[in-house]
Structure 1
Amino acid sequence: MLTWQLCNFDALSARHWHDIVRLRMEVFVVEQNCVYQDVDGHDVMHGVRHLMGTENGQLVAYARLLPPGLTYDNVSIGRIVTKSSIRGRGLGHQLVGQALSLCEDLWPGVNVEIGAQEHLQDFYASHGFVAFSEPYLEDGIPHVDMRLDKA
């Protein structure tokens, strides 16, 4: 069972920040063999929230919630990641569900947009997201923009 915690950057402990960056690099840089600028300046911006899912005291799931206008016109969820050792248990769906619920609490009625890795399009579609762009390369990985309409 995951325990959820939501913080802005200033409320993160040094340990939390270390664990977040380690998990993001473990998956996005090492596992996916993708060299890119992960720490992009958005983590510290006003209104951004960090959703952490821990199990047995270890960070195993994470997502970054961004307010409207920061990366998309609408709310955005990014850096959605689960530790490889917990995959296959449905915890990624729990992470996205938790992130969407919190986005609704923080920004009621606002659409949610994501830049999804193309191979995860069906996963996000199962949460109501619909593609609204053609596939494009981001950091060498095919992506597609997807939106969850709240109207």
Structure 2
Amino acid sequence: MLETSIKKFSELELEELYHILQLRSAVFVVEQDCVYQDMDGKDKKAIHILGRHDGKLVAYTRIFDSGDYFNEASIGRVVVDFNYRKFGYGKVIMEASIKAINNLFNQTDIKISAQLYLKKFYNDLGFIQFGESYLEDGIPHIGMLLN
């Protein structure tokens, strides 16, 4: 079972921040073999959604209010530890993120920049592709909206 929590950057404990950055690096840099600047200066503005299984951080997203990243509210850095993907935790962390945007920001329109291979995953959550695919850090992405 995945337990989720919601924290502002200033509420994150040092150990939590370390585990967030470790998980993001393990997946986005090492697993996907993509050298990019993960720490982009936007974490301080984001609300962080942490997913833990038996106390271990295994899933994570960061969310933004409209105007803080895109014109619409947004979800980014969606990540699930490789060893925990078979449990549906990606869906759980995304549903928690959507709910947090609705509750904290009173927003229903949500924009994401999704890796193209995850299009069906996001479609199943209600996101619809707009525009053409594009490369972001050398990986094919698409813009998607939920409203």
Matched with 1:43 is 43
Amino acid at match of 2:100: L
Question: Where does 1:64-143 land on structure 2 (aligned, <5 Å)?
Answer: 64-143=62-141
Cα distance between partner residues in 2 of 1:127 and 1:117: 15
Please say if 1:14 is aligned against 2:14: yes
Cα distance between partner residues in 2 of 1:124 and 1:102: 17
Amino acid at match of 1:21: L
Unaligned runs of 5+ in 2: none
Shift of 1:4: 1.1
User: What CA deviation, in whole Å up to 9, does each residue of 1:12-41 have, x standing for no partner?
Assistant: 000000000000000000000000010001
User: Where does structure 1 differ by over 6 angstroms across 4 or more consecutive aligned residues?
Assistant: none
Cα distance between partner residues in 2 of 1:97 and 1:131: 18
Cα distance between partner residues in 1 of 2:50 and 2:143: 24
Cα distance between partner residues in 1 of 2:105 and 2:131: 24
Matched with 2:5 is 5
Cα distance between partner residues in 2 of 1:85 and 1:54: 13
Shift of 1:109: 3.6
Unaligned runs of 5+ in 1: none
Determine what percentage of the aligned residue pairs are the same residue. 40
TM-score (normalised: structure 1): 0.95
Q: Cα RMSD (Å) of the superposition?
A: 0.8
Shift of 1:56: 1.3
Q: Determine which structure has the larger strand proportion and give its number.
A: 2
User: What CA deviation, in whole Å up to 9, does each residue of 1:90-133 have, x standing for no partner?
Assistant: 11111111111111001224300000000001100001100112
Q: Is the 2:29–2:36 Cα contact (8 Å) retained in structure 1?
A: yes
Q: Secondary structure at the match of 1:15?
A: helix
Amino acid at match of 1:112: I
